[in-house]
Amino acid sequence: MRIDKMLANLGFGSRKEVKKLLKDGQIMVNDMAIKDAKQHVNPQIDVVMVNGEIVEYKEFIYLMMNKPPGVISATEDMEMETVIDLLEEEDRVFAPFPVGRLDKDTEGLLLLTNDGQLAHRLLSPKKHVPKTYFAIIDGVVTDQDISSFKAGVVLEDGYVTKAGELTILHSGIRSEIELTITEGKFHQVKRMFEAVGKRVIYLKRLSMGPCVLDEDLELGEYRELTEEEIQLLRDYEK
Ligand code: URA
């Protein structure tokens, strides 16, 4: 790969800016100052330094975000703020995209990556990856709802959902629940509650497969997945 492409990909600036770094002698490859933007490097083997600091090359990026409400799970939008707008430029240069969608008003765990294969397998309906949500429900959630979700409920378009595991944390005129589902139909959690005559008034995703929301992340914050979390995801979707 060309050195200017590699460094531009990693967020060291546009190709033009990288060219200037090269011209200024700020880039070393295997301890030799390199000035030619066309110089080829092998990111796996060659040691590239910018301003005396070793550059770590990676092809893929894996991020965990605590999605805030009011932001859409898309890569771009003419009017609304997207989860990509919340990323630092140094992460955005990897062109990550959200793994699945959360509604605009839903909060919580959203994975973002540029690893299309991993994303595809995590989202494949065949994989039945469980997703757990916390929700506040307008209405009394009952043991009958637990049974209904277990058996599958009929959504308004006639679709019968797969078994969902409902746990009641607090039952009252406003109930608090956790629900684990293995599908990802549009507005699924909200529609499942509508099917039993109740309304979701707050929704937050807690986990997706082996990946659990880091509670240290404030709304709108994100971090890279650890090597261990990446490995868990890779092993999981095999
Ligand atoms: N189910 C919903 O209704 N909304 C979401 O954002 C995710 C699951």
Task: Decide: 148 in ligand 1 pocket, CB within 6 A.
Answer: no
Known catalytic membership, residue 103 = yes
Task: Decide: 67 in ligand 1 pocket, CB within 6 A.
Answer: no
Please give the pLDDT value at position 140: 98
Same domain, 35 and 78: no
What single string gives the DSSP state of each residue in 12-79? S--HHHHHHHHHTT-EEETTEE---TT-B--TTTS-EEETTEEPPP-S--EEEEEEPTT-BSSS--SS
Same domain, 156 and 191: yes
Please give the pLDDT value at position 59: 84
Task: With a cut of 70, list the residues of the chain below it in pLDDT.
Answer: 237-238
Ligand 1 center–CA 17 separation, angstroms: 42
Which CATH number belongs to the domain containing residue 193 in this structure? 3.30.70.1560
Same domain, 136 and 202: yes
Which CATH number belongs to the domain containing residue 120 in this structure? 3.30.70.580
Same domain, 170 and 191: yes
Cα distance from N-terminal residue to C-terminal residue, the chain: 30
Domain end, chosen from 31, 54, 77, is at 54
Same domain, 112 and 215: yes
Domain hosting 188: range is 131-208
Please give the pLDDT value at position 206: 98
- Give the residues across from 111 on adjacent strands: 64
Please give the pLDDT value at position 37: 93
- The total of structural domains in the chain comes to 3
Same domain, 178 and 224: no
Please give the pLDDT value at position 122: 93
Strands (E), 61-198: 62-67, 97-98, 107-113, 131-138, 165-170, 174-181
User: Tell me, what DSSP letter sits at residue 127?
Assistant: G
Residues 57-113: tens digit of each pLDDT: 888 999 999 999 999 999 999 999 999 999 998 788 788 999 999 999 999 999 999
Full-model pTM: 0.84
| Residue 127 to residue 115: CA distance in whole angstroms | 17
Same domain, 114 and 228: yes
| Residue 41 to residue 29: CA distance in whole angstroms | 8
CB distance 182 to 129 below 8 Å: yes
Nearest residue (CA) to ligand 1, atom 4: 187
* Cα dihedral across residues 7, 8, 12, 14: positive or negative: positive
Same domain, 176 and 197: yes
Please give the pLDDT value at position 237: 60
